[in-house]
Amino acid sequence: MNCPGGHAQSCHLAKLPQVVHTSQQHLLRPQRDLQHRLSQPSQDSLRAQHSHSAASLACSSSSSRPLPAGAEAGMDPSSALTPPSVPADAFSSIPEALEDIRLGRPVVVVDDENRENEGDLIYAGDRMSTEQMAFMVEYTSGVVCLAMEGADLDRLQLPLMVNSEANEEAMYTAFTITADYRHNTTTGISAYDRAITVRQLSNPGCPPADFKRPGHIFPLRYHPGGVLVRPGHTEAGVDLARLAGCYPTGCLSEIVDKRDGSMARLMQLLEFAKQHGLKCITIAQLIRHRLQHEEVVQEVLRAPFRLPVGVWNPEQADFTMHVFRCVLSGQEHLVVSHGGLSGASKVLLHVQRGNVFADLIGGLQSGPSSSLLASLEQLASHSAGLAIYCAGNSASLEGAGKQLASPSATFANSSDGSSVHAARENGIIAAILRKLEVRSVELQSPDDQMRACLIQLGVEVTSTRDRKLFSFKFAAACFAELLGTLIFSFFGGGLVSEDSQEVAWLNGLALAILIYVTANISGGHLNPAVTLPTIITGHTGLFKGCIYIVMQLAGAALGSLLLAGIYPGASVGNKALGVGCFELRQTISTGHLTKGMAFGWEAVMTFTLVATVYSVALGTPNFGNVGPLIIGLVLAASAMLASDKTGAALNPARALGPTFVYQCNWSQIWVYVVAELAGGLVAGIMSWPLYGSGEQYGVIGNSIMKPLRRLFGKPAEGDHVDPNDIDAGAPMESKAVSEVLDQGQLAGTAMNPMTPHEIPWMACSQPTESQPILIFVPGWQ
């Protein structure tokens, strides 16, 4: 047959080998045997000139026009896309599919069931023949498209039909104006004419004048980055062609169900591929293949730093900050590591989804993701740990603004809600782990999608829920709370002095010493009224905090039991302050105070103690080694003030322990327990706006925009900040605020007196009561 399109080389038909199992032979029909007569134009010189390696896929043309954010609605590579009714070997491997593409055979490509849930027949554009086109038209919708890179479309002067903002196509597919090859064609609709048009559109030597507009081939604009950015058939067509060593164009059309003309679904697509001996793959497989074989992130910064971790622990832990830049999108992802990662087993992995509003304002986080800074304490407790702040669409100010423009948007949304967002993030996480030579991780959050994706990409994954209930470090912390509360209860109950001031000083000194002893092991809570608020504010995990409270109650009971054993004279009627449950009997039943008055005293004193704990542990300045002593002094002062009124327990464990051992005053014990827990909770809640919240269970998230300078949302002592840089940046920041207010016609806005930098040139003489305005100005950091 004559070579279409005027090629100098002669065309030939190659009898290609069947790629069907013997058991499938009976499914083949003679009239559908076209795949065994696929034409393969001999364009070796063209292939040699334009074959691309997989790694070059990351380098996209700068002239390519990006699609709108809505176009990024696609599939998740962690999905195997294999329902239980589909055999595990139903899909072919990517190398097998690439070999067929290279030889000019078609491949059935299935996308995510949550996206189009359709399958396309895809050929390499430069391999298209008349027979191949006839086969495509017979079994597809007949709308033949050619996925092309932006640079080729710009060269051929084929612009988009509509601009990206006006695109209303369901998947935001970027259709350009149609085209037909001008030479050696007739109407342009025949299989011959469309085949030659596809080949010439795939010929980099063809000038724009060789094509008529409009035509019968629908070019599609490929999104730079391919399926790693937009997991659609357009991107899959170009990616497959390039990876197969062909010119980067993919001819594609959607396969239809011949019975009713509807689009073929998964099971029908598998049957179609089986009948015609074709390879069938998913876009999810292609994404995983690219992630396994390409470099999608580059490390641009690595810097060691130290931060104090733990509520009480003044010691600083060593961390390393890494910044990885995605070569496809240019986004930068922050990684904080601890310990030796290379070759380590079960590296603790924490992932924080980027959300600028949730991170700055403290909106509710969706799912188990939590503050990056608050995860550092857990990282420091492991021999190797890793925290990744994964930037996404809502990690930028513009992206977050577009996200919140949706009526259903909230501060809690940490992604654009599409599965393609998870696909990109999971792939980037896997690439970062590969760069850091991490092969085994322990997921801190139970993210099943991430778990499946990492496993498929060769990372050994366990979850914290798979971990043994008690590690040695956790067991030691629990024992420290038990022993510390035991000693404190024994010490306080064993005092026989009638001098309330002496007792108060000794109790304060005992608490300070015990905090010093247990701080590096458990954090030195020793009090349910301290532990419960830290659970609510997120500084202590729920499970850990509950176990701590149980240990504290048990310790207080054991301390009282030990005292009763070695000091049998201790009894309810004993007049020595603190012995047994004397303080309970003395304060309420003697008539000096009503239960309501006793409740108030215990609540206020406990509030003062817990507020001091939060201030010392999380506030500024950093009190360091003096912190436990300050807490002891506050306890001593509270005991001096309230000991002659209520006994100043200020600790539900100390109140319950003697009551349980001596079996006295059960009718009054609720006053102490409820009052002390209430006072502690109020102190913890009031600490939120001052010190932020903690790790997983806090309602208000920490600010993480300046992770190297802030611990739990407040600047820490020892920050290395150049005052000159801040002073130099202040006028610029003030001017930026002024411009924002001016553009919003808010020149009369009253400035909050706590505004960091004064704006002298702004007219603020007419303050008005209106809705408050929050302006975030990114600084030099």
Ramachandran quadrant class, 330 (left: phi over 0; alpha: psi -120 to 50; beta: rest): left
pTM (predicted TM-score): 0.50
**DSSP SS3 for 70:** helix
First to last CA, the chain: 68
pLDDT score recorded for residue 467:
52
Q: How many beta carbons lie within 10 A of that of residue 573, not counting itself?
A: 10
Omega of the bond leading into 621 within 30 degrees of 0 (cis)? yes
Closest CA to 700 of 350, 360, 309: 360
Contacts 24+ apart (CB under 8 A), 714-719: 714/618, 714/619, 714/620, 714/690, 715/620, 716/307, 716/308, 716/620, 716/622, 717/620, 717/621, 717/622, 718/622
* 157 residue type, one letter: Q
d(CA 636, CA 631): 9
Closest CA to 637 of 496, 501, 524: 501
Domains of the chain as residue ranges with CATH: 4-24+75-274 (3.90.870.10), 295-466 (3.40.50.10990), 477-691 (1.20.1080.10), 725-781 (no CATH)
Q: Which residues contact 105 (CB under 8 A, 6 or more apart)?
A: 16, 19, 35, 38, 123, 278, 279
Q: Where are the beta strands (DSSP E) in 565-610?
A: none
Give the rounded distance of the alpha carbon of 474 from its chain centre: 26
d(CA 640, CA 210): 97
Ramachandran quadrant class, 184 (left: phi over 0; alpha: psi -120 to 50; beta: rest): left
In whole angstroms, how far apart are CA 696 and each of 403, 522, 539, 701?
Answer: 24, 18, 8, 9
Closest CA to 181 of 159, 227, 212: 212
How large is the angle between the packed helices 595-618 and 669-691, nearest 10 degrees?
A: 30
pLDDT score recorded for residue 640:
82
Give the rounded distance of the alpha carbon of 264 from its chain centre: 35
Q: How many beta carbons lie within 10 A of that of residue 738, not counting itself?
A: 16
**DSSP SS3 for 355:** coil
The tokens for 18 are: 């069947």
d(CA 673, CA 591): 20
d(CA 256, CA 137): 10
Across the beta sheet with 145-148, the strand order is 179-181, 211-221, 145-148, 250-254, 119-124, 107-110, 279-282
Residue 304, beta-bridge partner list:
320
pLDDT score recorded for residue 509:
86
In whole angstroms, how far apart are CA 313 and each of 199, 379, 614, 698?
Answer: 69, 15, 13, 20
Q: How many beta carbons lie within 10 A of that of residue 266, not counting itself?
A: 20
The tokens for 169 are: 């196509």
**Angle in degrees, CA 601, 604, 606, rounded to 5:** 105
DSSP 8-state secondary structure symbol assigned to residue 250: E
pLDDT score recorded for residue 779:
44
Cβ contact 490:570 at 8 Å: no
Give pLDDT tens digits for 351-395.
887 765 555 554 444 333 345 666 777 787 778 888 888 876 544
d(CA 448, CA 215): 47
Runs of H (alpha helix) within 495-575: 500-522, 528-536, 542-566
Cβ contact 106:35 at 8 Å: yes
d(CA 301, CA 324): 7
DSSP 8-state secondary structure symbol assigned to residue 382: S
Task: Give me the residues of the chain with pLDDT under 50, please.
Answer: 1-84, 311-314, 362-370, 394-397, 400, 402-418, 420, 466, 496-497, 571-591, 693-737, 740-741, 744-771, 774-781
* 32 residue type, one letter: R
d(CA 127, CA 211): 19
Give the rounded distance of the alpha carbon of 153 from its chain centre: 36
As to burial, measured by CB atoms within 10 angstroms (0-12 exposed, 13-18 middle, 19+ buried), residue 300 is exposed
Torsion angle, alpha carbons of 531, 534, 536, 542, to 10: -70
pLDDT score recorded for residue 109:
95
| Helix (DSSP H) and strand (DSSP E) numbers for the chain | 23, 16
**DSSP SS3 for 551:** helix
